[in-house]
Amino acid sequence: MPVTEILTALVGGAVITMKIVVMALPLATLMAFTAGLMRISEHRSLRWLAVIYVEFFRGTSALIQLYWIYFVLPLFGLSIDAVTAGVAALGLNIGAYGSEVVRGGLLSVDKGQTEAAIALNFTPRQRLWRIILPQALVGMMPPFGNLAIELVKATSLVSLITIADLTYRAKSLADMTLQVEQIFGLVLVFYFLMAQALTLGIRALEKRLGKGMQRGGLS
């Protein structure tokens, strides 16, 4: 098969892969911040809920989680299409790891900042949003970048539930043409480029947040 035809097919798969990343990343971010904040909550019930979520999704296989959502939940009357199942499984899995990044980032902020905010009569919500979180976000960016890359690589799992992503199309092409070296060599390049694009985006956001802190301080 000509290289141009192979590239065309792989580009189509890469587009689907990036669509899944674009949908799963906000879910992962939401779950990371929700569970991370719950982990440091004063309410024991919220802390335990967060612990159960984090330990379950970190302690079990992402592939099995995907299979449960796509193949097992329909047995209980909850049918989910393949793309939604893939996005949910990846978002929940990466979000569990991200929650520890959020928790660690929030706890790393100097306690003196909180004490100063209390002295200024800030409410707990004001302390979080105006003092603690802006400082913690800068430190969270590098590990969040690593998790975003892990998300890109983990999308290959969705090929196992019939989604024609990059990995699925590569396998199909390799089986059909037997041009294994060329096809999977190109796939390596595609995943590398997607990961680098995310890395550059995270670094740009990190720099912007850092500059914002320098300009605005804690005002």
pLDDT value of position 110: 77
Mean pLDDT, range 78-91, rounded to an integer:
94
Kindly tell me if the per-residue pLDDT of 219 is higher than 80. no
Tell me the range of 23-32, 125-134, 136-145 where mean pLDDT is highest: 23-32
User: Which of 21-30, 84-93, 210-219 has the least mean pLDDT?
Assistant: 210-219
User: Which of 50-64, 76-90, 129-143 has the least mean pLDDT?
Assistant: 129-143
Kindly tell me if the per-residue pLDDT of 144 is higher than 60. yes
Distance (Å, rounded) from C-alpha 213 to C-alpha 109? 14
Distance (Å, rounded) from C-alpha 195 to C-alpha 81? 26
Question: By the 8 A CB rule, do 167 and 156 touch?
Answer: yes
What mean pLDDT, rounded, does the chain reach?
Answer: 88
pLDDT value of position 75: 92
Among the four given CATH numbers 2.40.50.140, 3.30.1330.60, 2.60.260.20, 1.10.3720.10, the one describing domain 3-216 = 1.10.3720.10
Domain boundaries, the chain: 3-216
Q: Could you tell me the CA-to-CA distances from 73 to 67, 69, 70, 81, 97 in Å, in that order?
A: 9, 5, 6, 11, 23
For the stretch 26-82, pLDDT in tens is 999 999 999 999 998 888 999 999 999 999 999 999 999 999 999 999 999 888 999
pTM summary value = 0.86
